[in-house]
A and B are shown apart, each in its own frame.
Chain A
Amino acid sequence: MIEAQALCKRFGAIAAVQGVSFHAADGRITGLLGPNGAGKSTTLRLLYTVLRPDAGDALIDGVSAVAAPLEAARRLGVLTHGAGIYPNLSARENILYFAALQGLPAAAARARTAELLRLLEMEEFADRRAKGFSQGQRVKTALARSLVHRPQNLILDEPTNGLDVMAVRSLRELLQRLRGEGHCVLFSSHVMAEVAVLCDEVVVIGSGRVLSHGTPEEIRTRTGTAALEEAFVALIARGQG
């Protein structure tokens, strides 16, 4: 479970996040929806402990990301924006490196890595150097390495960026499967259709504030629109007005 409590973050004169609160429950997929520059990435960075909030707190399974960042980080799997991996290591080595840093014993790390390679259908390129990987292969590698320690919570920053239809579909299936296993999945996106298909809960964010929070259904009714996209546009317009 991930809980944002009145998170605030400024970069110089710019207030990127201004009092964002929401919670993402276990066994549900929560989408953080907003236009570019709305503060999605900054919010996620505050949640996954890379940035410290100026005010507010983030609780990961009840552990404060401010007071105990390492404890909180241990409960998280994170797919960062752009999915940067090491070009001189193979996919398997990239995953094993993170497994080691997560504190997994060597034998367990190898077994878990093999399992993920199978699960994500990566065996074909598992032992190739990552230098020439396609974006899809890179995202898969980054995803596998974020899941290697079986985190209860998964945060993904725009995971479908640059992926083709097939890759998006297999990512979707994976997230649904994780939901089925009772994990908490939180991802950001600016693609409406994706959020509509996948999410149980939607947090609409604009100009660093939460504009609306609820199931896609609730949001549609609340804004009096038929499609989520229209609801989104209406919310953004209202938020900026």
Chain B
Amino acid sequence: MRAILIVFLKEFRENLRERRTLYTALILGPLLGPALFAGLLALQLHKGVASSDRALPVAVAHGERAPNLIAYLTEAGAQLTATELSGDDARRAVQRHRYERLLVVPEQYATSLAAGAPAPLQLYTDASDPGAAGDSERLRALLAQYSARVARLRVVARGIDPLLLNTLAVQDIDVSTPVTRSVLLLGTLSYLMLLTMLMGGVYLAIDATAGERERGSLEPLLTLPVRRAHLIFGKILAACAYMLLSLILTVTAFAILLRFTGLERLGMSINLGPAVAALLVLYCLPLVPLGAALMTIVAAYTRTYREAQSYLGLVLLVPTLPLVFAGVLGLRPTLALMAIPSLSQHFLITSLLRDEPLPLSFVALACGATLACGALLVGIAGRLYRREALLG
């Protein structure tokens, strides 16, 4: 047992002197993740807030054929640009982003309108352009309003109560709270947290196995009167320490950063005070040994430092896969799902940030199952170090 502590202390100290380890564990992950997140958030805020006040750019072909409609759009804040394009040229102009949206008024517009028949209009938009989609929606709403207004005028002209046109009176009630509206953001946040936590231990896991073998220092170590499992346990423990440091720094960085982003302006809020931050670290803790053991096992099977690096790049994705599935399938926490490591941490993190605490049984199962998986992997890593092929 004493050997585990000695190996741990040595690995911890040695890696404090290794710039690469320090850089990824203590600087790159904990700063880059939150910075990236904040940037993304600021961009989204900017777009969300700004677009409703912004002028609505619309290119119009043959606007002279629909003077009333043009006047209505102009009054509603649309910024109209006249063009002569129609047909395939119009399609191409939008496709190539010359215009974000193009409204074509066909020749028969005026006659159809006068005859009381549906008047044709062609609206070219690019639904695959997320930047333009919001404004296109605004234009559609304006056109629908105009259509309803003309219809009301026609009905009034025929002496009928225009209220007859309103068959339904739907009241749209949004029950989302500022906190729940930030679900997607929260998902990203927990993903970044778990990823940077894992990254903190990557170089240590490689160094302790493939790196040590490549330097030729593994064999002298194995000649010592120390159980091999204890050597690897010490190394895993050191990786755990760096992962924990990385996690604490990341959570702290997030907590500080989120104070300065105007989430409330988007009608969202994230609950990340000091107490919640401490609880977050606590909830992620069971995943630390699992991640460290997993990375150590993979690195122990590789022959060189470089090989280990490329494999671990993939391994880093494994614990984050459940999060992706959860996002795509829109999974909600259930007791059974809490048995899946990393997914359960994701649920715990998001529920905590949303201020909707999960039942204690959920928390207990999440921690217990993750710790059990971790113990299993640590055990496997210990057995792996007994293999003779380890010497390479």
Contact = CB atoms under 8 A, between A and B. Distances in A.
Given A73-B223, A76-B223, A98-B224, A51 B217 contact: no
Q: Which of A48, A50, A142 is packed against the most chain B CB atoms within 10 Å?
A: A50
Interface string B286-298: 0000000000000
Contacts of B222: 50
Given A97-B10, A101-B6, A50 B223 contact: yes
Given A88-B14, A88-B18, A97-B6, A80 B225 contact: no
Q: Which of B216, B224, B388 is packed against the most chain A CB atoms within 10 Å?
A: B224
Interface in B1-35: 2-3, 6-7, 10, 14-15, 17-18
Contacts of A84: 215-220
Interface residues on B, range: 20 to 34
Q: Which of A49, A82, A86, A87 is packed against the most chain B CB atoms within 10 Å?
A: A86
A117 to B, nearest CB: 18
Given A76-B223, A89-B14, A83 B216 contact: yes
B209 to A, nearest CB: 14
B391 interface: yes
A74 B47 CA distance: 69
Contact of A146 (B7, B10, B220, B225): B220
Contacts of A83: 216, 220
A82 B7 CA distance: 22
A233 to B, nearest CB: 31
Contact of A78 (B223, B388, B391): B223
Interface string A97-112: 1101111000000000
A241 B218 CA distance: 38
A226 interface: no
A86 B217 contact: yes
A73 B224 contact: yes
Interface string A41-80: 0000100111110000000000000000011011010111
A82 B14 CA distance: 21
Q: Which of B17, B217, B391 is packed against the most chain A CB atoms within 10 Å?
A: B217
A145 interface: yes
Interface string B374-392: 0000000000000010010
Interface of chain B, main secondary structure: helix
A87 B260 CA distance: 43
A89 to B, nearest CB: 6
Interface in B196-231: 215-227
B219 A80 contact: yes
Contacts of B217: 84-86
A181 to B, nearest CB: 21
Q: Which of A79, A84, A142 is packed against the most chain B CB atoms within 10 Å?
A: A84
A86 B14 contact: yes
Contacts of B3: 101
Interface in B215-251: 215-227
Interface string B315-354: 0000000000000000000000000000000000000000
B14 A80 contact: no
Nearest to B224: A101
B14 A78 contact: no
19 contacts: A52-B388, A73-B224, A79-B220, A80-B220, A80-B223, A82-B216, A83-B220, A84-B216, A85-B217, A86-B215, A88-B14, A88-B17, A97-B10, A100-B6, A101-B3, A102-B224, A103-B2, A142-B220, A145-B220
Interface of B: 2-3, 6-7, 10, 14-15, 17-18, 215-227, 388, 391
10 closest pairs, A vs B, by CB?
Answer: A84-B216, A84-B217, A78-B223, A73-B225, A74-B225, A82-B216, A88-B17, A80-B219, A100-B6, A70-B225
